Amino acid sequence: MKEDHVDIKTPEFVSIQFQIAGLGSRSAAFIIDQLLLMTFNILSVILLFFVLDGMSKMEFIFIGNSLPIAITIIALFLVNWGYFFVFEFFSGGRTIGKKLMGIRVIQENGHSITLLSSFIRNLIRIIDSLPTAYFLGVIMIFFHSKHKRLGDLVAGTIVVHERKAKRKKKQSPLEKEIESRCLSEVDLTIDEWTLKSLGMKEWKLVNTYVNRFLQIPLTERNQLTEQISELLFPKIGLDPTGKTTVDLENILLVLYLRLSEEWEFEL
């Protein structure tokens, strides 16, 4: 392993090199996230103060001030813990802080973080924060060869820098085709949960189709489009029935754009 780099072999026997995120970038991302959470916490306490101050005497007698306080405490706990858990799973391993710092959490096998791994990783965050000011987590990240904290060790995850594909100065024929059709990622409404259900097998199918898209005769392309649509569309909750061949092509091209962010690595 090179310094601050790690080579990962995926279950599909693809070798990928990642740059490991060190203590500096991870600390900066954590500080940004904590500032956002602190702002939410302060606003919640101010709102609680106004709620208690605005309660009438009758409400205070029958309800008391314990219910609003209890609700606020529970809400603060869920948001402060759930923030990391939800963002890391549904946003490709990136909280807002991580996204701004260009880092993300992935599985040790190079795949996206799973729901269970995200849950375990952030549950152990409680231990990593001991005895105070995230001391244990900082020590672990600093001394571990892969900059892992205890949560990463237990969950089998690693924090790496984003892999941004190099943009060619000249557009490829496929990029020109997608641009001429005015297609973009927002043209396909599909939730992250469904998108994550598509694995390497589906990605290879879409990737092969797109790479051959402009190279095969029109008749063969139309047949291939219909066949792949019948295979993939049910998995993402779409019905190919009644759609024109052009519509099917557009959906598959946009699906390629959505999946490429997750699966297309710069080797």
C-alpha neighbours within 13 Å on the C-beta side of residue 216: 13
Both 134 and 32 in one domain: the answer is: yes
If you average pLDDT over every residue of the chain, what do you get? 83
H/E segment holding residue 158: strand 157-161
In whole angstroms, give the CA distance from residue 158 to residue 152: 6
Look at residues 103, 126, 161 and tell me which one is the last residue of a structural domain.
161
Residue 103: band (very low, low, confident or very high) from pLDDT cuts 50, 70, 90 = very high
Both 97 and 15 in one domain: the answer is: yes
Q: Look at residue 108 and tell me whether its pLDDT is greater than 90.
A: no
In whole angstroms, give the CA distance from residue 152 to residue 172: 39
The mean pLDDT value for 102-111 works out to 88
Q: Look at residue 80 and tell me whether its pLDDT is greater than 70.
A: yes
In whole angstroms, give the CA distance from residue 114 to residue 93: 9
**Domain coverage including residue 77:** 5-161
Q: Look at residue 3 and tell me whether its pLDDT is greater than 60.
A: no
Tell me the per-residue pLDDT of 208-252, one tens digit each, with 9 for 90 and over.
Answer: 888 888 888 888 888 999 999 888 888 888 888 888 998 888 888
> Residue 16: beta bridge partners?
8
Look at residues 124, 140, 161 and tell me which one is the last residue of a structural domain.
161
Both 238 and 132 in one domain: the answer is: no
Q: Report which of residues 190 and 124 the model is more confident about.
A: 124
Per-residue model confidence (pLDDT) at position 265: 47
Per-residue model confidence (pLDDT) at position 154: 94
In whole angstroms, give the CA distance from residue 86 to residue 180: 36
Q: Give this prediction's pTM.
A: 0.62
Where do the H-state alpha helices sit in the chain?
A: 23-54, 57-62, 66-90, 96-101, 115-123, 125-128, 135-143, 150-155, 173-180, 192-196, 200-212, 218-232, 245-263
Residue 169 DSSP symbol: S
Both 136 and 190 in one domain: the answer is: no
In whole angstroms, give the CA distance from residue 56 to residue 146: 57
Both 143 and 26 in one domain: the answer is: yes
Look at residues 134, 161, 188 and tell me which one is the last residue of a structural domain.
161
Both 128 and 18 in one domain: the answer is: yes
Both 70 and 134 in one domain: the answer is: yes
Per-residue model confidence (pLDDT) at position 166: 53
Both 9 and 103 in one domain: the answer is: yes
Both 156 and 177 in one domain: the answer is: no
Tell me the per-residue pLDDT of 159-178, one tens digit each, with 9 for 90 and over.
Answer: 999 866 555 557 788 888 88
Per-residue model confidence (pLDDT) at position 50: 82
In a domain, 220, yes or no: yes
The mean pLDDT value for 21-47 works out to 93
Task: Compute, in degrees rounded to 10, the torsion defined by CA atoms 41, 42, 48, 52.
Answer: 150
Q: How many structural domains is the chain composed of?
A: 2
Q: Look at residue 109 and tell me whether its pLDDT is greater than 50.
A: yes
Both 199 and 157 in one domain: the answer is: no
In this structure, of 13-17, 46-50, 191-195, 255-259, the range with the lowest mean pLDDT score is 13-17
Q: Report which of residues 263 and 260 the model is more confident about.
A: 260
In a domain, 167, yes or no: no
In whole angstroms, give the CA distance from residue 178 to residue 191: 22
